[in-house]
Amino acid sequence: MEQFAAVKRSKDGQPVQYLIVDDSVFARKNLGRIVESFGGQVAGEAGDGLTAISEYERIKPDIVLMDITMPQMEGIEAAEKIVQKNPDARVVMVSSVGYQENIVAALQRGARHFVQKPVKPEVLYEVIKYVLGEDGAVASAAGAGA
Amino acid sequence: MKMELIQPFINAADAVLSQGLKSPMAIDHLSMEEEAYRRKGVAAEIRLTGDIEGRVIFDLAPKTASIVASHFAGTELPESDDLVREAVCELANQVIGNAVATLNDQGFHFRVHPPELHTAEQGPKSTEDTEALVLCFETASGSVYMNIALRYNASLEVKAATGGR
């Protein structure tokens, strides 16, 4: 897999912590590999929206990557509940069901961005940098080490 | 089943498989399934409800499933690995999700249910109003079958017949 210049947290130079939410173990592993190629760390995983909410409170990750179609509670509802309680939460929806209505609903309910599956690592990389804004720094540019 | 329903699935399968396998694919054959569906190997089924209803099954011979899953995972997976079955479900999810996105933007509204492994050897025979179309995609990793049985929701057909009244 292609390696990217590491994106670190600008406040402490530590790896960006991710919570990955998808009902597919395979999709979670794949996303995990991708964010690790960005220098990130998978801090937690969840297979449904309800678990995602409790995992968010436990881990307080820097970024949540959230699928939409999941059992128990779907991703858009879970994103909304997380953001209601944690207005600074950065939730990026990652779904194959990327039609306009879904994208608009996700953004209106608190998601910061939407990435269509199958995930292109270079696209997700740019989205992560955008969503982190000043809270993220590309290691080579910031001199924080790779 | 009208071609306007099928084309988005073909386009989505092309996009997802070509990207995941990093090689082009082609439609080997397309046929209507008149007999009951018979599973070929590792199969994932996704149900759709709403303006368009029915199900789509992705089906790969065990060896093909293992090769395809290994490509998508970026690491070799044995045929027996649970991740192979998970990968086929995720593949189905991505193809159908992309197709549904296109159909939704054309004005059809429906819900996509999470993929489920199709474990039965045989499925129900297609009926006159839910005929099944089988598409075989030839990839460098082997054949990938997509069995589509969809129909317009009855209420949508009534709406269309009455001009939306």
Indicate which CATH number applies to the domain containing B13.
Answer: 3.40.1550.10
Does residue A104 lie in a domain region? yes
Q: Looking at beta carbons, which residues of chain A come within 8 Å of B104? A: 99-102
The A residues from 68 to 127 touching B (CB cutoff 8 Å) are 69-71, 95-102, 116-118, 120
Residue A17 lies in a domain: yes
Exposed, middle or buried, A87 (CB in 10 Å: 0-12/13-18/19+)? exposed
Residue A114 placed within a domain? yes
- Counting the structural domains of chain B, the total is 1
State how far the Cα of B134 lies from the Cα of B142, in Å rounded to an integer: 16
Query: Is there a domain that residue A142 lies in?
Result: no
Residue B124 pLDDT: 64
Summarised one tens digit per residue, pLDDT across range A104-135 is: 999 999 999 999 999 999 999 999 999 999 99
Whether residue A25 is contained in a domain is answered as yes
| pLDDT over 60 at A144, yes or no | no
Output the CA torsion sign for A99, A53, A81, A64: negative
Domain count, chain A: 1
Q: How much of chain A, in percent, has pLDDT values that exceed 90?
A: 84
Is A101 contained in some domain? yes
Question: Which of B82, B83, B101 has the CB atom closest to A97's CB atom?
Answer: B101
pLDDT tens per residue across span B104-139: 888 888 888 889 998 777 766 656 556 789 999 999
Record: contact A26-B89, CB cut-off 8 A: yes
Q: Residue A77: inside a domain, yes or no?
A: yes
CB–CB of B58/B145 below 8 Å? Answer: yes
Domain extent at residue B115: 3-161
Task: Look at residue A67 and tell me if it is in a domain.
Answer: yes
**Residue A112 lies in domain:** 7-137
Looking only at the bridges linking them, the beta strands covering A7-9 and B52-60 are unpaired
Selected residues 2-41 of chain B with any CB under 8 Å from a CB in chain A: 16, 19-20
CATH code where residue A89 lies: 3.40.50.2300
Residues facing residue A113 across a β-bridge: A92
Q: So what's the ipTM on this one?
A: 0.81
Q: A residues 20-39 near B, CB within 8 Å?
A: 23-27, 29-30, 33
Range in A29-43, A129-143, B45-59, B132-146 the model is least confident about: A129-143
To the question of pTM greater than 0.90 for the whole model, the response is no
